[in-house]
Structure 1
Amino acid sequence: MSRNSTKRMDTMNPFKDFLLTHYMPEKCYNEFFHNFNLIHVPCLNIFLSKILGVWIMLGTVVVKLPQICKLLRAGGAEGLSFVSSLFELFAITGSMVYCISLNFPIGAWGESLFIVIQNLTIGFLIQHFGGSTLKGVGFVLIYCCLLSLLISPLTPWSVVILMESSYMPAVIIAQLIQSGMNYRNGHTGQLSAVSVFLLFFGSLARIHISAKDTGDSLMTLTCVLASCCNAVIAGQVLCYWNRSPSVKGKEE
């Protein structure tokens, strides 16, 4: 087949259009599919970064669902820190408000909305199973009012910037609070192992993406610290795997 024929076929190839739009530049497509150079390191790095980004986005959308399901099945929220949930909610809210304030398309912040809904649900369930259903309802209503205020023109831009810049510190503080609670309790209670490990592997992937795509050493260091915090909780889940509140109570 002539080179001209190959070019004509490429221009009509929806598979190529999809790859060029979402995963790689044309030079990498040519390396992989024309030159059959499947170990071209720069192009492999680009492709893997794009793949990791997609999986992070998909994992982010569902990362808290296993936790919600476990709480509903157990009918309790022992071992989960409400304060930790508040810090997580603050972090993701700041990111979402920042995107909305800049009129970014919903594709840029849609996954944040899913996380907000999941964190709100977890916060409500912690209060509900703790015997404070009215507090849980009040928590949801107050959050909705504050969110409406934050995305309104009444909120100064400096406040939005401050919330956005506090994203990673808030996430790290949330993880430290939860890990401290796990240590004091001697168990992880109703903490979902699936959600914990999804967060851990997602944070590892973010280190690679941050180092490769941004080159910002401070952002990369922040991602490393977040991964370390997630690693501590993941390690606690493994260490306390067969321990429950009742087991700890018997030992005491």
Structure 2
Amino acid sequence: MDVLYFKLNGIVKQFLGDKWDLGLLISKTLGYAIITGSLILKVPQILKIVSNKSAESISIASIVLESIGFTITLLVNQMLGYPFSTYGESFFILIQSIILLVLVLKYSKKLNSLFYIGSIVYLAASFSIYKFANPYHLSLLQALNIPLFMISKLPQISAILKNKSVGQLSFITCFLNFGGSLARVFTTLKEVNDPVILTSYLIGSFLNGVILVLFFLYWNKKTPTARIVSKEKQK
């Protein structure tokens, strides 16, 4: 096995240069695969909500907190000059999360003035961070992202447990979330070596795994509202 590794490593260095090795090649490939996958990560979830005109069992708080977390990830990594392959998916997931948030608010009948005020505050805060944040501020934001991503998953987990149903959650989106966060652990170890960012991805992987397990436990089980509607149709 070691002989095969050294041979492959030699081939990589021969074609790509001494700065490269097999691990870095795998990391770069994984990184861009994650970014490619992120282009459609939440599309199945978006299509499911639009198709059913329902956002049952989908937590608004989770989407908001996750969007803030991805915004911080995008800003911090870009400002610290980390390779795009280690964080690029944050941009595409953020856009889809915002679309998802609007849809969930719309079908939950909660798309009101508070959303527009919050959007203005969000844009102003993002611009201020990008223009004025120094390395100390960035380190604080990195540290903030750990509990933020952790807390962002808890309302969704709570909603599933409360309803005993996954509602309109998409399995494909949940699975890609889990696989992507696991792969990010490897790319962070190989290319960034930042313990704060690594911790964030480790916690994210664990909580995405919990949601995936709950998906299998409550697959095809209807929410309380759906059960009532179903009974009324049978009368």
TM-score, structure 1 length as denominator? 0.70
- Structure 1 residue matching 2:202: 3-state secondary structure: helix
**Cα distance in 2 for residues equivalent to 1:209 and 1:101:** 19
| Residues 79 and 181 in structure 1, CA contact (< 8 A), matched pair in contact too | yes
Q: In the alignment, which of 119, 122, 125 is matched to residue 146 of structure 1?
A: 125
**CA distance in structure 2 between the partners assigned to 1:157 and 1:216 by the alignment:** 14
Shift of 1:164: 2.8
- Report SS of the residue matched to 1:152: helix
Q: Alpha-carbon deviation of 1:63?
A: 1.4
Matched, 1:29 2:29: no
- Tell me how large the CA RMSD over aligned residues is: 3.4
CA contact (8 A) 1:80 1:190 kept: yes
Aligned to 1:63, which of 41, 64, 77?
Answer: 41
Q: Distance in 1 between matches of 2:158 and 2:128?
A: 33
Name 2:202's counterpart in structure 1: 224
Q: Is the 8 A contact 1:71 1:190 kept in 2?
A: yes
Tell me the equivalent position of 2:3.
Answer: none
Q: Distance in 2 between matches of 1:30 and 1:105?
A: 20
CA shift for structure 1 position 218: 6.5
Question: Contact 1:196 / 1:230 at 8 angstroms: preserved in 2?
Answer: yes
- Give secondary structure in 2 for the equivalent of 1:171: helix
Using the TM superposition, give the Cα deviation of residue 214 of structure 1 relative to its aligned residue in structure 2, in angstroms.
5.2
TM-score normalised according to structure 2 size: 0.75
Q: 1:130 aligns with which of 96, 105, 108?
A: 108
For structure 1, the 5+ residue unaligned runs are: 1-24, 33-41
Preserved contact between residue 94 and residue 163 of structure 1 (Cα < 8 Å): yes
Q: Report deviation, 1:96.
A: 2.1
Question: One-letter code of the match for 1:88?
Answer: E
Map 1:17-166; keep pairs closer than 5 Å. Answer: 27-29=10-12, 44-99=22-77, 101=79, 111-134=89-112, 135-153=114-132, 158-166=136-144
- Higher deviation after alignment, 107-116 or 63-72: 107-116
What is the alpha-carbon distance in structure 2 between the residues aligned to residue 88 and residue 147 of structure 1?
A: 15
The percentage of counterpart residues that share the same residue type is 26
Q: Which has the higher contact order (CA 8 A, sep 6+)?
A: 2
Q: Letter of the aligned partner of 2:126 in structure 1?
A: L
Within 5 Å, give how 1:202-213 maps onto structure 2: 202-213=180-191
2:59–2:159: 8 Å Cα contact kept in structure 1?
yes
Larger mean Cα displacement after TM superposition, 77-86 or 205-214: 205-214
Report how far residue 233 of structure 1 moved.
Answer: 0.5
Q: Distance in 2 between matches of 1:128 and 1:191?
A: 16
Deviation at 1:223, TM superposition (A): 3.2
Q: How many residues align?
A: 217
Counterparts of 1:77 and 1:164 in 2: how far apart (Å)?
Answer: 31
Deviations 1:131-161 (A, max 9, x none): 12224444434433332333333x5664443
Q: 1:183 matched to which residue of 2?
A: 161
Letter matched to residue 77 of structure 1: A
